[in-house]
C-alpha cells in the first residue's frame, strides 16, 4: 500500500517535534508522501479560522495525519474553537486512543501497560454552552447510543489485537443515570455480543482514578466517555513519564490523526529542549492502528525503549530535540 501523510505543525513546539516523527516515518516507509497543512491558534490569528477547509481536504485525501500542538485561549474569543476539537468533530475522529506503559529511566513504576479508549466527539466537549441568565451558564453533556457503540466496536478491535485480559468500563451512572447509563449499556451490549463479557468489568470514575494511582498495573483496556477519558489519561500518563512522553491517536472510519499530548509548551519554544518522543510514539500509533504496520510500530517503540534505557538519565538541555531524534533514528 502507499502511505500519504498530512502534517499539521500547529502552535508552539509543534513545528519543532513533528520533523522528528516525520523523519522516523520516512526511514521506515520509503514510499511516504508528505503534505503540509495549517491549523491552530496562530492559523486563526492569520486567517480568521483555526482549521481551514484546505486542511480538512488534505486530511481527507491523505487518510492519515500528524498534529503537533495547539494553543487555545482560556477565555472566549469570538469565532474561535479549538483546532483539535474541530478536527475531531469535522473529520469524524470519534475515538481517542492513549497508551500508558512503563519506560526505562523515566517511569516511576515498572509493569504498567494499559490503554485508554475514550469517546472523542461528544460529551461535555460537544460545544453546547449557553447563558441561562447573566449569572448562570449551562453546558450540555451529549451522549448518544451511536457514538458509544462506535467506541465499543473500536474497543473490540483493540482488545483482539492486544489479547486483552480485562476491559474496564468507566462511568458515573450512579449520579448521571441517563447519560452515563446510556453510555455504559450501549458499550456493554456490543462488548458482550462480541464475546468479551468474561473480561468486562465496571468502575465509577472516582474509584477508577484512585485505583490508577494505587495499582495501575491492574488495568489493561479502559473504555470511557470524553471528559472522563481526558482526565484519566492525563492522570495515568504519570506512570509513563508524564505528558512530555504521552502519545495519542484520534481515530475514525478510514481516517486517523496522531497527536502528542504535551501541548504547545510556549515556555520552551525555540530553546531546543522539546522532547520529540511523544510525537515519535504517536507516529507508531498511526502505523499500528491506521496503516496496520504493527511490526514497524514495534520497531519504533523498541528503539524508544532502548534509547531511554541507555540515555534516559541524561539531561540534554538545549540539545534535547536533536539528540533524541538522532538517537532514535540510529536505533531503527
Kindly name the residue from 11, 42, 230, 289 that is annotated as catalytic: 230
**Active-site position among 11, 42, 125, 289:** 125
Backbone angles phi, psi at 221, to 5 degrees: -120, 120
3-state per-residue secondary structure call for 222-288: EEECHHHHHHHHHHHHHHHCCHHHCCCEEECCCCEEECCCCCCCHHHCCCCCCCCHHHHHHHHHHHH
User: Scanning the structure block, which residue is given the C-alpha cell 441568565?
Assistant: 133
Residues 220, 166: contact at Cβ < 8 Å? Answer: yes
Instruction: Answer left, alpha or beta for residue 255, where phi above 0 means left and psi between -120 and 50 means alpha.
Output: beta
- The catalytic residue among 113, 185, 220, 234 is 234
> Can 302 be counted among the known catalytic residues?
no
3-state DSSP assignment of residue 98: strand
Identify whether the C-beta of residue 65 lies closer than 8 Å to the C-beta of residue 291: no
Cell of 266: 510556549
Query: Are 331 and 306 contacting, i.e. CB atoms less than 8 angstroms apart?
Result: yes
- The total of other beta-carbon atoms located within 10 Å of residue 146's CB is 10
Coil, strand or helix at 204: strand
Question: Which residue out of 113, 206, 267, 315 is catalytically annotated?
Answer: 206
230 is catalytic: yes
- Closest by CA to 229, choosing from 92, 101, 99, 82, is 99
Instruction: List the beta strands (DSSP E) in the chain.
Output: 4-10, 33-37, 64-69, 95-101, 113-119, 129-133, 136-139, 167-171, 200-204, 221-224, 249-251, 256-258
Among 31, 172, 201, 302, the active-site one is: 172
Residue (of 172, 302, 280) closest to 225 by Cα position: 172
Give backbone dihedrals phi and psi of 249, rounded to 5 degrees, phi first.
Answer: -135, 125
Q: What is the dihedral of CA 280, 57, 37, 265, to 10 degrees?
A: -60
How far is it, in rounded angstroms, from Cα 176 to Cα 104? 40
Establish whether 125 is a catalytic residue: yes
- Please give the positions annotated as active site: 125, 172, 206, 230, 234
Amino acid at each position: 500500500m502507499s502511505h500519504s501523510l498530512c502534517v499539521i505543525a500547529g502552535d508552539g513546539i509543534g513545528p519543532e517535534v513533528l520533523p522528528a516523527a516525520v523523519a522516523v516515518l520516512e526511514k521506515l516507509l520509503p514510499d511516504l508522501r508528505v503534505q503540509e497543512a495549517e491549523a491552530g491558534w496562530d492559523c486563526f490569528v492569520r486567517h480568521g479560522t483555526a482549521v481551514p477547509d484546505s486542511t480538512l481536504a488534505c486530511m481527507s485525501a491523505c487518510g492519515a495525519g500528524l498534529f503537533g500542538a495547539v494553543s487555545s485561549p482560556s477565555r472566549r474569543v469570538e469565532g474561535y474553537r479549538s483546532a483539535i476539537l474541530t478536527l475531531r468533530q469535522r473529520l469524524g475522529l470519534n475515538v481517542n486512543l492513549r497508551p500508558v506503559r512503563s519506560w526505562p529511566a523515566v517511569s516511576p513504576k515498572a509493569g504498567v501497560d494499559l490503554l485508554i479508549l475514550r469517546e472523542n466527539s461528544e460529551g461535555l466537549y460537544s460545544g453546547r454552552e449557553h447563558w441561562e441568565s447573566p449569572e448562570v451558564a449551562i453546558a450540555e453533556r451529549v451522549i448518544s447510543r451511536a457514538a458509544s457503540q462506535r467506541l465499543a466496536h473500536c474497543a473490540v478491535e483493540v482488545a483482539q489485537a492486544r489479547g486483552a485480559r480485562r476491559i474496564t468500563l468507566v462511568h458515573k451512572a450512579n449520579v448521571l443515570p441517563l447519560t452515563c447509563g446510556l453510555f455504559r449499556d450501549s458499550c456493554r451490549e456490543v462488548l458482550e455480543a462480541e464475546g468479551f463479557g468474561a473480561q468486562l468489568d465496571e468502575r465509577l470514575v472516582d474509584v477508577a482514578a484512585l485505583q490508577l494511582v494505587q495499582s495501575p498495573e491492574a488495568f489493561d483496556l479502559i473504555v470511557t466517555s470524553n471528559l472522563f477519558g481526558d482526565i484519566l489519561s492525563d492522570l495515568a500518563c504519570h506512570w509513563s513519564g508524564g505528558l512530555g512522553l504521552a502519545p495519542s491517536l484520534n481515530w475514525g472510519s478510514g481516517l486517523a490523526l496522531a497527536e502528542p499530548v504535551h501541548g504547545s509548551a510556549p515556555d520552551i519554544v525555540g530553546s531546543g529542549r522539546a522532547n520529540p518522543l511523544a510525537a515519535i510514539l504517536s507516529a507508531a500509533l498511526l502505523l499500528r492502528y491506521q496503516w496496520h504496520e504493527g511490526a514497524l510500530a514495534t520497531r519504533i517503540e523498541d528503539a524508544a525503549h532502548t534509547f531511554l534505557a541507555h540515555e534516559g538519565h541524561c539531561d540534554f538541555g538545549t540539545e534535547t530535540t536533536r539528540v533524541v531524534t538522532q538517537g532514535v533514528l540510529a536505533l531503527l
